[in-house]
Structures are given as C-alpha cells and as structure tokens.
C-alpha cells in the first residue's frame, strides 16, 4: 500500500531497540482515511476466506481490525488486557510478551463472543515477534474456532514473527514490510 508506506516514511520514527513510533496515524492518533484504506485492502486480500469474525488485541489493533471487519461485514472482537466485571467468570485467557510494554500481558476474551465454528481472521497493527498473534490464535483455538488468516498493517521482518507464525499454516498478509531500522533510517520492502 503506497499511501501507508509514504506515511511511514514521512511520520514514522525509529526509537531504537526495534521500536517504530507511528503514534501520529496508527497507535495514538488515528488517521481514519488511512485506516479505512488499510481495512479495505485487508478485506480484499481475505475475501475468499469466508471470515465470520475478526479478532485483535486491545488497544492498537482495534482500528485496523474494525476497519477490516466493516469492509468484510462481520463483527470484530478484541482481546482485553484486563477483565471487566461485565465479563463472565469463565473466560478464554492466555498471556503474551509485549515488546512495547516490556512485560507479559494477559489477553482475555469472553466465550460469549468467540465460539466453535467461527472462521477467524486475526488483524493487528504490527507483526514483530509474532507472540501477540500466537496468543490470539491460542484463544481462537481454545474457543473451538478456526484461524483462517493473519493480516497486519506493518510487519517488522527482521524480528522473525512471520517464521514464528508459519506453523499455524494460514496466509499472512502485511500491508507494509520493514526490512531494517538503523538510526533514523527505516527501510521498506
């Protein structure tokens, strides 16, 4: 996606230690027009997969997941990091390391909204090490759902996430792939 790549080149900042700051359009302030185009493109790429639900992680994955789900015409469910009192006592829960938070986080989904027989597309803002997405896949599997694909806005190819996800045996689509970040230089595939 040329518009996304241009935005990364213009506004993305490498903060060191593999952290890419894209707060101005994806993670804190969201560019709705750009997210709409990202969602449209992910929906197009997964159109033949008969998706019934989009699954993501709180909070940064919600914008691209919502846009994708809207274009497909299915609900989006996000894994929460804290269990609210409105959630049932028995939940689907796993843990995953968070690169940006520097700690392990819980991923929690109510079984009311993720069930057996669902055809789940996992959508997230980043694919780095793949650990959050693997956690989401564990939640879908625990629910009896089938993961049919993974879509991400930005992949940091140098962190090995794609290789970690290959055992899932599903298509992986990234709208922009970063091959290297060194100093202030961000190299896109």
> Residues annotated as binding site?
20, 27, 128-132, 156
Binding residues for xanthine: 20, 27, 156
Q: Cα dist. 100→55, 62, 157, 188 in Å? A: 20, 16, 17, 21
Q: Cα dist. 140→6, 25, 187 in Å? A: 34, 29, 33
Q: What are the residue ranges of helices labelled H in 12-86?
A: 32-45, 62-72
With 0-12 CB in 10 A as exposed, 13-18 as middle and 19+ as buried, what is 69?
Answer: buried
| Positive or negative: CA dihedral 51, 39, 173, 135 | negative
Strand partners, 21: 13
- Asked if residue 162 lies in contact with residue 177, where contact means CB atoms within 8 angstroms, the answer is no
In degrees to the nearest 10, what's the CA dihedral of 152, 156, 158, 162? -10
Binding residues for 5-phospho-alpha-D-ribose 1-diphosphate: 128-132
Record the tokens describing residue 96, joined without a space.
């995953």
């Amino acid at each position: 996606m040329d518009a996304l790549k241009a935005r990364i080149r213009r506004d993305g900042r490498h903060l060191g230690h593999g952290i890419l700051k894209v707060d101005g359009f994806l993670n804190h302030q969201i560019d709705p027009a750009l997210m709409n185009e990202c969602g449209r493109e992910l929906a197009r790429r997964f159109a033949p997969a008969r998706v019934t639900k989009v699954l993501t992680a709180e909070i940064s994955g919600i914008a691209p997941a919502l846009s994708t789900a809207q274009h497909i015409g299915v609900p989006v469910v996000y894994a929460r990091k804290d269990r609210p009192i409105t959630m049932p006592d028995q939940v689907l829960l796993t843990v995953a390391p968070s690169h940006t938070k520097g700690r392990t986080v819980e991923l929690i989904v109510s079984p009311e909204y993720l069930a057996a027989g669902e055809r789940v597309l996992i959508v997230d803002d980043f694919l780095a090490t793949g650990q959050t997405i693997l956690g989401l896949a564990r939640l879908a599997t625990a629910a009896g759902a089938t993961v049919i694909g993974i879509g991400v806005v930005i992949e940091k190819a140098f962190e090995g996430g794609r290789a970690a996800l290959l055992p899932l045996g599903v298509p992986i689509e990234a709208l922009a792939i970063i091959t290297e970040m060194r100093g202030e230089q961000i190299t896109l595939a």
